[in-house]
């Protein structure tokens, strides 16, 4: 498979508006890497409370002085025009122009990413520096865009497991000429699926969805309602290339098994990572999966710097022309890929732990004794874990109860399993004495 | 209807001992304002563990010096004699007199309200100032009271709703020559019922009980046991005229729908109000409704100044001759009436919110989009409320979960209902996907 | 019965290794005091994941200089040899000797208690002072021990009650030449059973087990599985003679009735006592009862000085030759016996409180009125308890909810029962109105 960073270099500057030729080209390029099903939903198609919008194309867009000096040009950067801008050609006063000319709120040198999918307006985007230099009374605006029937496309890669219960990964491919948001999530997800395909069969079916933000998830879910009850958990992937540790956002159901499992596993994978509740780090397509009538516990993994409450943007170059390959690294992409694989590994092994033993285990007899004097922490943990193996708790439940990493609990449980002291069950199997 | 303050002026000085001609006169005067059913429970009637006491009348009561100077006279103020005092006529030593002469613990100029319904004692009440002036060796006491068979009377006003499930209001009419405790609750309740009668039909049946404290509630409940399972909530009204913001005391069941609904609604009605748990603000008849074998979640609304733990009295003039019309105002009575009506309005609209939608709503398409940039708080709240509309939560549950006023949640839910996105149900109606 | 301290003086110096003639002699001596069933489990017998070890005897053990000066001698103190030491006779270098010579970590003058039941090693124990004096190049070691088939013995005393549901007491008789750990638990338990035998019949069956640590509990439980569902609670007794207040360690199920009952009762029995969660004070045989597949909520009562987190030993002389009769007193043993009896008394009376009344009780009519003015605390408590008598709460539940001693709740409930206002039930009996 092409290296993740090479794929990014190849695709990042494409005009990946939500329904657009650029988006389609990028998706079919990815399908060359890993075969996928491409679902198509035509313009106007009802998707629960939504409708699929039209395909949008920008043929030309620029701003000129009246004497023909070109100040802003879409040919130079796809962000110079509002995504889904109406066409507009004409002379406008400086005052009117400024109402349609968007700049970045914090970065004077950056061109912002602005979209108005449903507001029907025209607009250009530029840097604060260029905007400040506009002193003429009037300017020439040329925006040649077209709206036509097309199809929203969702790429789906499935790695079937023993069970048709599935765990969903998702990332969004839209956002023209941007990288970290969310080409990084796409390429990381692609490599994860690649690895799953080539490794031993799994218990769960894994499903990776590459989609345009929000409407893509709604389109897919509304056309696959029969799958929803089989979706036992999920993880949205985004912003995985910038220079920050991982951040894990919980689902709407904070006590779900995916929340407990991935939550307890992450700290051992990335000790600098942080975790926070649903909707407190970054909002994206996981919202559609967690929403009423769906209620799939989908978490979100990113490298967002700090919770929303900090007031900081997810990363400094967010939604701007500064979100380029420069801010991501192959090393971080690989670390994120490995983190996702490790989280899925935890998920795969998260089962109910059923005791074959009664009372405390004769540890010396099974060669699993940990001496209290030389390793008090290990001794205590061994016993704390063993005494919770009662068929009512998963490994994630035990780890959460003890505030220890999933991996620590899993390691002890594996040892017990190897010794025939416990067995693992997908369903609860209480072993309380009848009475 | 006569103005609330005018009714108070007319009735406050009546001798409204729990079973007495004065109480009866006051109740029948109120029945002229709003027709009511008057339930009568004769002396000796068993009411669960209680029995209805005798009717009590004080014909004359005074204290004189041996040379005939009258120092204390019931003819001047009804509080000068212990409520339910035994008759007593005789010469008493100063020492014995003092054992039977009650004064107010904090207010040297006030005559206290003292009652001994079940202790069978004689007594007079006066101010600390008068008591301190008693220097003679002996005094003449004359207390001419009589005990005879009578009937305890409970006034009941019912505004029937679509359902026979009822919400109970209650206030006590007893306490001779006092105003804030609890004539104010009575007149506020009366106006509330008056308003309900003349407004559009309601879902719930509303039932207002005017009764003598404690025994009145026990008498009514024990003779209407068949109604108890229909009583879905209640609010006791008392001390609603003094100069403090509202105080709302929760029921014995702090997670009940009435607790959540009225609790989340009050702060928007009276921003200065405070709330506290069952039995921590003021104890009264709500105790009978919350008690074992009844367990109606009845809250209590008052203008008590601070929780009991403060050590302060409910209001400075409590249980004394200083509790006169001077300390209440028509304006505050009206504000309390409006507060009760607003709380009942919230109650009436507190239903389970069932989503017709799946996934997130296409807000732009329904014209309910709130822009994140211009109104981040409104945007967040809209989504936080929408994502909880799943048929398992009432409006009060959503408001409580989000720590927002009931009215804010209700407003958003109403908008969603208007758009056909949700419907409201009296019973839970979960919309989780089958699985 | 022989005084507890006299029994201790008689038995303490015996060589009570877990399966040994000394242990057996001590057990049969106790059986003379109170008749008991002695269960025997032969060497090699499977006990769940365990096997019963061999009987161990030490015939002789000493350390000498090469010129025959005896430095350490088992004949002088049973702790001088490792419990379950392999036999060893030979000349050893100073270096090798030190690897097999155990000392106390903190007390330079004490001989430590060291055991290696399952590690198969030889060893001697001495004081740090003696060890420090060893300067020769080589020494003569003589350890003559033998391993042979024997039987592990568990003494069981049962006082049958009306029900075959039983409450289990346990203490361990092993540990050569030590007193507080746990001869004290044994003699206290013995006197408790003695008292139960001679007092009025009880509701529950009481079962006292005298056993060798850990393996004794496993042996007994694994051979009495049919009893486990009947074990409704338990209390391990240990370290009850040293000079500290009582410490109560909760069970694995902190909300169980035994936890709530004993937990709320102890503070009234020993106001200086402290309580802490499962495994946070001292670990012992209660672990086998709380373990998976057994799950009997067994608490532990001791005089441990501070929770484990303090880093302190349970008491200063713990597991050393300093644990002698000097550190225990008859007075403290009797106080512990009385504490256990008081805890069992609470347990015996812990039932669901079912109201015969509805509404609040007419306290004056039943002669149970507590005046608010003269006893506000008593008044409040009376009402707080009464309003929780609804057939869904035990006395322990009410005490726990109100953070008051079990005895205070019990006293009020007894008064209510005496007045016919409540009745007590072993099972929940909710009295909510039908609706």
Q: Say what the pLDDT of residue B435 is.
A: 52
Inspect the interface and report whether the beta carbons of B293 and C359 lie closer than 8 Å: yes
> B135 and chain A: CB distance < 8 Å anywhere?
no
Q: What share of chain C is helix, strand, coil (3-state, %, to 5)?
A: 35, 25, 45
Closest-CA residue to A58 (of A97, A112, A17): A17
Which chains have at least 3 CB atom pairs separated by less than 8 Å from chain B?
Answer: A, C
In this structure, what token pair is assigned to residue B150?
A: 């009578």
Does residue A435 have a pLDDT over 60?
A: no
> B84 and chain C: CB distance < 8 Å anywhere?
no
- In which band, very low, low, confident or very high, does the pLDDT at A84 lie, cut at 50, 70 and 90? very high
Inspect the interface and report whether the beta carbons of A293 and B361 lie closer than 8 Å: no
d(CA A396, CA A406): 6
Mean pLDDT of chain C: 96
d(CA A190, CA A206): 12
Substitution target from B292, B313, B318 for chain C, most C beta carbons within 10 A:
B292
**H-type helices in B109-243, by residue range?**
128-132, 183-198, 215-222
- In which band, very low, low, confident or very high, does the pLDDT at A32 lie, cut at 50, 70 and 90? very high
Cβ–Cβ < 8 Å for B192, B340: yes
What residues of chain C lie within 8 A of the CB of B288, using their CB? 359-360
DSSP state of C200: -
Contacts of B86 (CB under 8 A, 6+ apart): B120, B121, B122, B143, B145
Does residue A221 have a pLDDT over 70?
A: yes
> How close is the nearest chain B Cα to the Cα of A412, in Å?
32
Cβ–Cβ < 8 Å for C242, C270: no
What proportion of chain C, given as a percentage, has pLDDT over 70? 99
> B387 and chain A: CB distance < 8 Å anywhere?
yes
What proportion of chain A, given as a percentage, has pLDDT over 70? 99
Residue carrying the six token digits 């079937």: A160
Does residue C215 have a pLDDT over 90?
A: yes
In this structure, what token pair is assigned to residue B401?
A: 């979960």
Q: Say what the pLDDT of residue C138 is.
A: 97
> A364 and chain C: CB distance < 8 Å anywhere?
yes
In this structure, what token pair is assigned to residue C112?
A: 């430590």
What residues of chain A lie within 8 A of the CB of B389, using their CB? 292
> C376 and chain B: CB distance < 8 Å anywhere?
no
| Helix or strand (DSSP H, E) at A223 | none
- In which band, very low, low, confident or very high, does the pLDDT at A434 lie, cut at 50, 70 and 90? low
Instruction: Produce one character per residue of B129-144: b if its CB has 16 or more CB atoms within 10 Å, e if not.
Output: ebbeebeeeebbbbbe
Main-chain dihedrals φ then ψ at residue B140, nearest 5 degrees:
-100, 125
Distance (Å) of CA B411 to CA B264, B404, B415: 13, 12, 6
Q: Which of A357, A362, A364 lies closest to C293 in CB terms?
A: A357
Mean pLDDT of A171-186: 97
> C287 and chain A: CB distance < 8 Å anywhere?
yes
Inspect the interface and report whether the beta carbons of B222 and C386 lie closer than 8 Å: no
What residues of chain C lie within 8 A of the CB of B294, using their CB? 358-359, 433
DSSP state of B332: H
Does residue C432 have a pLDDT over 90?
A: no
> C311 and chain A: CB distance < 8 Å anywhere?
no
Does residue C434 have a pLDDT over 70?
A: no
Q: Could you give the ipTM of this predicted complex? A: 0.93
Q: Say what the pLDDT of residue B285 is.
A: 97
Q: Say what the pLDDT of residue B371 is.
A: 85
Cβ–Cβ < 8 Å for A171, A240: no
Q: Which of C214, C252, C295 lies closest to A433 in CB terms?
A: C295
Main-chain dihedrals φ then ψ at residue C61, nearest 5 degrees:
-160, 125
Inspect the interface and report whether the beta carbons of C51 and A362 lie closer than 8 Å: yes
Inspect the interface and report whether the beta carbons of B49 and C362 lie closer than 8 Å: yes
> A311 and chain B: CB distance < 8 Å anywhere?
no
What residues of chain B lie within 8 A of the CB of A102, using their CB? none
| Partners of residue A355 on adjacent β-strands | A422
> A27 and chain B: CB distance < 8 Å anywhere?
no
User: Nearest chain A Cα to B384, which residue?
Assistant: A279
User: Nearest chain C Cα to A390, which residue?
Assistant: C292
Q: Say what the pLDDT of residue C184 is.
A: 98
Q: Say what the pLDDT of residue C314 is.
A: 97
Tens digit of each residue's pLDDT (9 = 90 or more) over C141-171: 999 999 999 999 999 999 999 999 999 999 9
Q: Which of C252, C279, C288 lies closest to A359 in CB terms?
A: C288
Q: Which of A51, A119, A291 lies closest to B358 in CB terms?
A: A291
Q: Is C223 left (phi over 0), alpha (psi -120 to 50) or beta?
A: alpha
> How close is the nearest chain C Cα to the Cα of A259, in Å?
25
Tens digit of each residue's pLDDT (9 = 90 or more) over A144-175: 999 999 999 999 999 999 999 999 999 999 99
| Partners of residue C42 on adjacent β-strands | C151
What residues of chain C lie within 8 A of the CB of A393, using their CB? none
d(CA C355, CA B295): 13
Inspect the interface and report whether the beta carbons of C365 and B50 lie closer than 8 Å: yes
10-residue mean pLDDT profile of chain B (435 residues): values are: 95 97 98 97 97 97 97 97 97 97 95 93 96 96 98 98 97 97 97 96 97 98 97 98 98 98 97 97 97 97 96 96 98 98 98 97 92 87 96 98 97 97 97 70
Q: Which of A49, A222, A228 lies closest to B361 in CB terms?
A: A49
Mean pLDDT of C306-327: 96
> How close is the nearest chain A Cα to the Cα of C292, in Å?
5
Q: For residues C369, C373, C377 and C378, what is the CA-based torsion angle, rounded to 10 degrees?
A: -20
Mean pLDDT of A341-362: 97
What residues of chain B lie within 8 A of the CB of C388, using their CB? 292
A 105-124: CB under 8 A from B: 117-119
What residues of chain B lie within 8 A of the CB of C355, using their CB? 292-293
> How close is the nearest chain B Cα to the Cα of A68, in Å?
35
User: Nearest chain C Cα to B287, which residue?
Assistant: C360
């Amino acid at each position: 498979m092409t290296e993740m960073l090479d794929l990014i270099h190849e695709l990042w500057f494409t005009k990946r508006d939500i329904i657009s030729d650029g988006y389609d080209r990028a998706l079919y390029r990815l399908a060359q890497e890993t075969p996928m099903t491409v679902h198509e939903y035509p313009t106007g198609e009802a998707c629960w409370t939504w409708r699929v919008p039209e395909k949008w194309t920008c043929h030309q867009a620029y701003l000129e002085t009246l004497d023909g000096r070109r100040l802003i040009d879409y040919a130079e950067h796809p962000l110079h025009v509002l995504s889904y801008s109406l066409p507009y050609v004409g002379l406008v006063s400086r005052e009117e122009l400024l109402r349609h000319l968007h700049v970045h709120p914090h970065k004077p040198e950056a061109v912002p990413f602005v979209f108005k999918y449903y507001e029907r307006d025209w607009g250009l985007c530029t840097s604060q520096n260029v905007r400040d230099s506009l002193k003429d009374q009037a300017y020439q605006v040329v925006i040649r865009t077209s709206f036509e029937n097309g199809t929203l496309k969702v790429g789906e890669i499935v790695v079937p497991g023993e069970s048709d219960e599935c765990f969903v990964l998702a990332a969004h491919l839209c956002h023209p000429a941007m990288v970290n948001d969310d080409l990084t999530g796409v390429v990381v997800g692609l490599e994860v699926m690649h690895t799953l395909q080539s490794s031993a069969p799994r218990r769960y079916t894994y499903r990776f969805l590459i989609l345009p933000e929000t409407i893509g998830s709604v389109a897919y879910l509304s056309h696959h309602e029969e799958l929803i009850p089989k979706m036992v958990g999920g993880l949205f992937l985004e912003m995985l290339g910038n220079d920050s540790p991982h951040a894990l956002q919980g689902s709407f159901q904070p006590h779900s098994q995916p929340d407990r499992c991935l939550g307890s596993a992450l700290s051992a994978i990335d000790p600098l990572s942080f975790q926070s509740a649903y909707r407190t780090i970054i909002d994206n397509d996981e919202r559609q999966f967690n929403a009423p009538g769906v209620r799939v516990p989908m978490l979100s993994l990113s490298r967002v710097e700090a919770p929303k409450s900090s007031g900081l943007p997810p990363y400094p170059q967010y939604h701007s022309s500064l979100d380029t390959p420069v801010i991501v690294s192959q090393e971080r992409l690989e670390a994120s890929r490995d983190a996702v694989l490790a989280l899925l590994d935890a998920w795969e092994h998260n089962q109910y732990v059923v005791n074959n033993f009664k009372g405390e285990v004769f540890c010396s007899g099974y060669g699993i004794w940990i001496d209290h004097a030389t390793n008090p922490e290990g001794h205590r943990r061994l016993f704390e874990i063993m005494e919770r193996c009662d068929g009512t708790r998963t490994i994630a439940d035990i780890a959460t109860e003890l505030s220890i990493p999933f991996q620590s609990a899993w390691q002890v449980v594996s040892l017990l399993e190897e010794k025939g002291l416990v067995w693992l069950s997908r369903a609860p199997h209480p072993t309380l004495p009848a009475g």
